């Protein structure tokens, strides 16, 4: 049986997908659940995850991503979209959810709420937008890892024009912006990059141990 790391060695940023092979709904559901279980700062999950199968839309998006074929050939295209701004009303909606989910009164979450609001107000608009994008990348990491464990191929991608993709996805009035793509599916037998050796800095350089 493959270990967790065997599967991470198996995965690679797939350049060419086999367009005839599709994920089952069960596989999609499993990967999306793993994505949703990603950690996020304070648990705020300040992003949305689009799952795109519409061929015409994907064709248009490919044009805005330098023609990268993964966008149209993969079985499913996942797009992580971060919020552009976040305010107290978002925090209040989240607090309501915590209260309902855990069966505790909103009043008991006052300090938690104040901490989140303080954290939001303490950042510049740019820093805030960047922070929300960072949360979306954690979701991407969970998805990549889960896909590898299921032997499903994926390719993290940020090679696209976000302004044009935002138009494709009609995000302008939704306070969202596209951050990263993750096409999912199965590698083509013609994808030579599947055989490329992984390039990683030596462990002694990458890790720093302070004993």
Ligand X SMILES: Cc1cc2nc3c(=O)[nH]c(=O)nc-3n(C[C@H](O)[C@H](O)[C@H](O)COP(=O)(O)O)c2cc1C
Closest to ligand X by CB, 47 vs 94, is: 47
Q: Report the residue number whose CB is nearest to ligand X.
A: 159
Residues that bind ligand X (CB under 6 A): 12-13, 15, 68, 155-159, 180, 198
Identify which of 29, 28, 42, 72 has the alpha carbon closest to the alpha carbon of residue 54: 72
Closest CA to 15 of 157, 201, 164: 157
**Residue closer to ligand X (CB basis): 80 or 83:** 80
Q: How far is the CB of 137 from ligand X (least distance, A)?
A: 7
Q: Which is nearer to ligand X, 12 or 17 (CB)?
A: 12
Query: At its nearest, how many Å lie between ligand X and the CB of residue 158?
Result: 4
Minimum CB distance to ligand X, residue 85 (Å): 23
Q: Which of 80, 63, 78 is nearest to 27 (CA)?
A: 78
Q: How many other C-beta atoms are found inside a 10 Å radius of the C-beta of residue 26?
A: 8
Contact 151, 42 (CB under 8 A): no
From CA 38, how far away is CA 99, in angstroms rounded? 20
Instruction: Write down the residue that tokens 């024009």 correspond to.
Output: 161
For residue 98, the minimal CB distance to ligand X (Å) is 30
**Nearer to ligand X by C-beta: 108 or 151?**
151
């Amino acid at each position: 049986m493959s270990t967790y790391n065997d599967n991470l060695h198996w995965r690679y940023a797939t350049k060419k997908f086999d367009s005839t092979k599709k994920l089952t709904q069960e596989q999609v559901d499993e990967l999306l659940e793993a994505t949703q279980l990603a950690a996020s700062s304070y648990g705020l999950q300040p992003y949305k995850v689009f799952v795109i199968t519409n061929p015409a839309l994907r064709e248009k998006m490919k044009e805005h991503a330098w023609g990268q074929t993964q966008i149209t050939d993969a079985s499913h295209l996942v797009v992580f979209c971060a919020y552009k701004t976040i305010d107290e009303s978002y925090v209040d909606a989240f607090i309501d959810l915590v209260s309902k989910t855990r069966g505790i009164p909103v009043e008991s979450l006052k300090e938690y709420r104040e901490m989140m609001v303080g954290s939001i107000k303490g950042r510049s608009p740019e820093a805030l937008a960047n922070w929300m994008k960072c949360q979306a990348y954690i979701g991407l990491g969970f998805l990549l890892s889960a896909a590898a464990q299921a032997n499903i191929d994926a390719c993290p991608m940020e090679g696209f024009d976000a302004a044009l993709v935002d138009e494709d996805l009609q995000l302008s009035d939704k306070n969202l912006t596209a951050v990263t793509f993750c096409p999912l599916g199965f590698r083509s037998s013609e994808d030579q990059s599947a055989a490329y050796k992984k390039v990683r800095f030596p462990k002694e350089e990458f890790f720093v141990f302070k004993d």
